[in-house]
């Protein structure tokens, strides 16, 4: 059973701080990694994807991948109250499967 | 703009009734997925399809069925609704490959009474 684990949270940070969200996965051959944001009552929306070891930056968001440690993280710099949401980590395995395995999500609250 | 739409957005039904949730995408994606989301469980895959006439079971497929007669639609049918199927249902589609970004519909909130 392929698993994706996230800190259950909730995570609370003050406005302007860095929020750090973590995810580990069990399938060593996983090749694609995604971070989705889900506001309460809404559907998941993609905010970052990462495929290679290292960091990938997009505005205030940085995804970090370490395949040797089977670890992927999302950093949100200068956190804003509008970043308050649940963040879902998703992993795609190598091979023909197009399925994603999702973690249960981490709820982030950014306090003004 | 391409999109993925789900209908209805809210549904209340009684136990034992057959219910069909619609999913329609205009991305022209081959891959389509149905998930349910419950507190404490996250997103769980119900069924998925890689193309017309192709359907596959996910991790929580019991009591559900899908059919794929064209590229755009993947309806989800609850054969005999049970209270345990009260949930929020999301449809998603992707174009596959390494990118494999899944785009989600707005969801259907189903209550089985």
| pLDDT tens per residue across span B87-103 | 999 999 998 766 678 99
CA distance B106 to A53: 32
Instruction: Report whether A105 contacts A5 (CB < 8 A).
Output: no
Interchain proximity A88–B96, CB inside 8 Å: no
Q: What is the pLDDT of residues A13-57, one digit of tens each?
A: 999 999 999 999 998 888 899 999 999 999 999 999 999 999 999
Nearest-neighbour CA in chain A from B56: distance (Å): 11
| pLDDT value at A9 more than 90 | no
Largest CA distance in chain A: 45
Cβ–Cβ below 8 Å for B48 and A100? no
Bridge pairing between strands B31-38 and B42-51 = antiparallel
Q: For residue A75, which of A90, A92, A91, A56 has the smallest C-alpha distance?
A: A56
**Residue A58 host element (H or E):** strand A54-58
Closest partner residue to A51 among B31, B42, B98, by Cβ?
Answer: B98
| Residue (of B110, B104, B109) closest to B34 by Cα position | B104
Query: What is the pLDDT averaged over residues B43-49?
Result: 95
With 80 as the cut, is the pLDDT of residue B84 above it? Answer: yes
Question: Which tokens belong to A56?
Answer: 């990938």
Contact flag A51-B42 (C-beta cutoff 8 Å): no
pLDDT digits (tens, 9 = 90+) for B1-27: 779 999 999 999 999 999 999 999 998
């Amino acid at each position: 059973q392929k698993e994706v684990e996230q800190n259950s949270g909730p995570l609370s940070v003050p406005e302007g701080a860095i929020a750090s969200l973590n995810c580990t996965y069990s399938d060593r051959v996983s090749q694609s990694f995604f971070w989705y944001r889900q506001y309460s009552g809404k559907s998941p929306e993609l905010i970052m994807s990462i495929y290679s070891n290292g960091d990938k930056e997009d505005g205030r968001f940085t995804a970090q991948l370490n395949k040797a440690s089977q670890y992927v993280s999302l950093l949100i710099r200068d956190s804003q109250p509008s970043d308050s949401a649940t963040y879902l980590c998703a992993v795609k395995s190598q091979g023909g499967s197009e399925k994603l395995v999702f973690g249960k999500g981490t709820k982030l609250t950014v306090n003004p | 703009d391409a999109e993925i739409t789900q209908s209805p957005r809210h549904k209340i039904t009684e136990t034992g009734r057959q219910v069909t949730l619609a999913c329609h995408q205009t991305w022209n994606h081959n891959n389509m997925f149905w998930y349910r989301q419950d507190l404490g469980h996250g997103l769980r895959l119900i069924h998925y399809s890689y193309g017309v006439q192709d359907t596959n079971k996910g991790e929580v497929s019991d009591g559900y069925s899908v059919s794929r007669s064209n590229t755009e639609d993947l309806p989800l049918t609850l054969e005999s609704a049970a209270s345990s199927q009260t949930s929020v249902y999301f449809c998603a589609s992707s174009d596959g490959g390494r990118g494999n970004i899944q785009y989600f519909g707005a969801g259907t909130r189903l209550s089985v009474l």
